[in-house]
Amino acid sequence: MLAKSLVIFISVGVIAGFSFGFYLLEIKSTNQLVYVDGSSLSLVTEKSDFKRGEEIKITLINSGTNPISFSDTSYGLKISGLFGIAKYSPPASQVISTLNPGEKIEFVWNQMKNDGLPVIEGLYKINVDGIDSMGIKVEKSITVNIWK
């Protein structure tokens, strides 16, 4: 037979553990998109760890109050390895594109390089850059992991 105090301490520990776990889960799934005054871009993926071959949905959002222009229809999107070697950029035509405040554009990357070969496991940097109405370069990058 267990002592009453031991049962109470174990019960409190289990309840506290579950509560703290749900709290951490809520923090991790919180959207990191923050709107600011001025020029700002945000890149969002549904998660940061992907299985090899899984499609990666990338959302580019103008999270500022100024319109941002891009030199082509790919909106300056480039995916590279961490050493800066370019792996992929979407096909684009040389037309100036503009993303107004609050607007977003979505891209899907199937983990293929521009030469048609699949990428290997590792860390990849997704980068976008544009120019605001004052002529200042605005860029944002995030890193995703591709695993087996």
Quick check: 120 and 82 in contact, CB under 8 A? no
Give the Cα-Cα-Cα angle 66, 80, 84 (nearest 5 degrees): 100
What pLDDT, on the 0 to 100 scale, is given for residue 141?
93
Which 3 state secondary structure label does DSSP give 45? strand
Show the tokens assigned to 15. 């309840």
Which 3 state secondary structure label does DSSP give 136? coil
Q: What average pLDDT does this structure show over 60-84?
A: 93
Which residues neighbour 46 within 8 Å (Cβ) at sequence distance 6 or greater?
A: 57
Q: Tens digits of per-residue pLDDT, 94-120?
A: 899 999 999 999 999 999 999 999 999
Model confidence at 29: pLDDT above 60: no
